[in-house]
Chain A
Amino acid sequence: MLRLALKLLYGDRAKYAMLVGGLTFCALLMTQQISVFFGLMRWTTATLRNIPAAVWVADVKVEQVNEVVAMREIEVDRVKSLPSVAWAVPLYWGIINARLPDGSFQSVQLTGLDTATLVGRPGKMLAGRIEDLRLPNAVIVDQVGVKKFLAKGIQLKIGSVFEINDKEARVVGLCESAQSFLGQPYVFTTYDRALEYVPFQRKRLSFILVEPKPGVSAQAVVDEVRAIPGLTAYVSDDFIRRTMDWYIKNTGIPFSFGSVVFLGIVVGIAIAGQTFYLFIHENLRFMAALKAMGAKTRTLASMVFLQALVVGLVGYGLGVGAAALFGFGVLKAGQPPFYLPWEVLVFTGVVILFICGLSATVGLLKIIRTEPATVFK
């Protein structure tokens, strides 16, 4: 009977197409929007992923990585002196304007790495050597910078020159880095040179990157740092979570994306539910005939749920596939952000199954309520 149930479903091509179309749209909308949301959330933590460190130390008022409250440089020594710390290095991070050769400006995320160790260096160099950062006026620009400069007609390559705060910045390398929420390119240089580029302030240290001693947990370092007045510390993963939480709590992003996802679910329920109900309604005569012929409720339920499951799986597959194609396209283009972890696929699948289950249940209730005697009318 299950095979015949599927023939009944496939036979009504218009409704089958509408059911699959509705669920495809629903799955696409949910997967795409949630993936863009997750992509956006990942962008907010790009600095943390571009600059690997076990523990980040910041001013006690700092709530997330894109918010800098500058500290005194002496704090580096205070952290270094902690028993659990193997080493600690300063990091400058700030947004500043770069002046291009044609006179136009481009905001960049100036990242000053510890001059001696270059801790926090970019993970992948596309051209040049990281050690060349120690050359005079040397900077390394990421692939976002290459694109942004190119958009302004400037082909960035090793040897290219631009200005930061009226001081020369000479490109000695190109690197790959995670794109940030703010969208500005990362420009890496040494900590000392970064301080030369930025306007003078009494406090200019953005973060301290810390490595625990062997055998000491990162959390132990965090606990020790937090005992120092005016400082706080986060294990890197915790800082990532806190940064994402901050954006979720303090921006309209989750509501915006959440409302689209909610609408997707509502549209899915409306289209799939109504169409499935209509499908059941139009076949009620045959269902009543099957009931008269001795079909058990269990048999009818398995037929209806199989039909719902099949349209759900096909719609889910097409929707998720379309979302993945969208993601494949935008990842090549660089934006909008897109991150599709397996959890999103599971979530979308569960929602689609819920919609199908709900539709099937409503349809089945109608069948159950139908007296087999109606077949004689």
Chain B
Amino acid sequence: MSEKILSVASEDLAIEARGVTKTFGRGDSAVAALKGVDLNLRFGELTMIVGPSGCGKTTFLSVLCGTLKFDGGSVRLFGEDLRKMRPAAVTAFRGKNVGFIFQQFNLVPTWTALENASVPLLLAGVGRRSAEVAAQRLLEEVGIGEKSKAYPSQLSGGQQQRVAIARALVHEPRLVICDEPTASLDAASGYHVLELLQSIACRPDRCVIVVTHDSRIFSFADRIAEMEDGVVKGVSERGQFHAQYV
């Protein structure tokens, strides 16, 4: 009976992490970054992973999106067991299903906003013209369509992060990973970026994860997973955490 319930529940889950462990280094210098993390993430939700520096947020995020191998436990991403996938398959899976928004934007300075935004499609083998049409549409959606020919150095921090959002969404990924998306922005820009993210990234068929310790944006979360010392200390649903965090 419990197995059936779990099975039904699993269908709604975008990500299932069970007892995930990760240790960096060996011997005396070994550092256990993740000490058995359990977390379920659902489609259609914006989940924030919060916690103090060094608690393992970014390591967990890297594991969830398949950019870092983990030592123990299991991670199922859209029903696929990451541990059982070959590295090349993980890369291909990530390219198709994951969009990234980084703290430092990571826009290539010598590429225009349009070129930066079209990269995931180009990597997927889409032709240049089609990729740029899709990227232009996304840039317009994030409100900087007129800046498509501008280089990152010609854009403000907020505008650069909008380009990064367009890049993260251009290939219609099922998972959007945001690593401290507001850390390099002022309060107003950070707020606008999260507003934008919530309005265009959150869809019923998509899962959005935001790693942050910027408490000003907690109000955008559907759920908040609090990490401490390599484990998820607790998960708060919207309504529960309002009093606690916001």
Contact = CB atoms under 8 A, between A and B. Distances in A.
Given A1-B122, A290-B119, A375-B102, A296 B92 contact: yes
What's the dominant secondary structure at chain A's contact region?
helix
Interface string B75-108: 0000000000000100110111010101110101
A289 B94 CA distance: 12
Given A1-B122, A376-B62, A376-B102, A12 B92 contact: no
Contacts of A373: 59, 62, 67-68
A293 B115 CA distance: 14
Nearest to B58: A376
B242 interface: no
A14 interface: no
Contacts of A296: 88, 91-92, 123
B124 interface: yes
Given A373-B62, A375-B67, A292 B110 contact: no
A11 B116 CA distance: 14
B115 A285 contact: no
Given A291-B91, A293-B95, A376-B62, A8 B123 contact: no
14 contacts: A1-B122, A12-B110, A283-B108, A285-B106, A289-B100, A289-B106, A293-B120, A294-B96, A294-B98, A295-B95, A296-B92, A375-B100, A375-B106, A376-B61
A79 to B, nearest CB: 74
Nearest to A9: B110
Given A286-B108, A375-B106, A292 B92 contact: no
Interface of A: 1, 3-4, 7-8, 10-12, 283, 285-286, 289-296, 299, 371-373, 375-377
Contacts, number: 80
Interface in B103-151: 103-104, 106, 108-111, 115, 119-120, 122-124, 128
Nearest to A6: B110
Given A8-B110, A294-B124, 10 more contacts: A7-B110, A12-B110, A283-B108, A290-B119, A291-B67, A294-B95, A294-B123, A295-B91, A375-B102, A376-B102
B123 A290 contact: yes
Nearest to A11: B110
Complex A-B, nearest 10 residue pairs according to Cβ-Cβ distance, in ascending order: A294-B95, A11-B110, A373-B62, A373-B68, A372-B67, A289-B106, A373-B67, A376-B58, A286-B108, A294-B94
A367 to B, nearest CB: 13
B111 A1 contact: no
A293 B123 contact: yes
B103 to A, nearest CB: 8
Contact of A376 (B96, B120, B179): B179
Contact of A4 (B95, B103, B108, B109): B108
B109 A11 contact: yes
B149 to A, nearest CB: 13
A3 B88 CA distance: 24
Contacts of B61: 376
Contact of B108 (A8, A292, A294, A299): A8
B155 to A, nearest CB: 16
A299 B59 CA distance: 26
A310 to B, nearest CB: 14
Which of B95, B104, B120 neighbours the largest number of chain A CB atoms within 10 Å of its CB? B95
A293 B108 contact: no
B65 interface: yes
B119 A7 contact: no
Given A4-B108, A8-B110, A376-B61, A293 B128 contact: no
A7 B115 contact: yes
A8 B88 CA distance: 25
B67 to A, nearest CB: 4
Nearest to A292: B67
B18 to A, nearest CB: 20
Interface string B165-209: 000000000000001000000000000000000000000000000
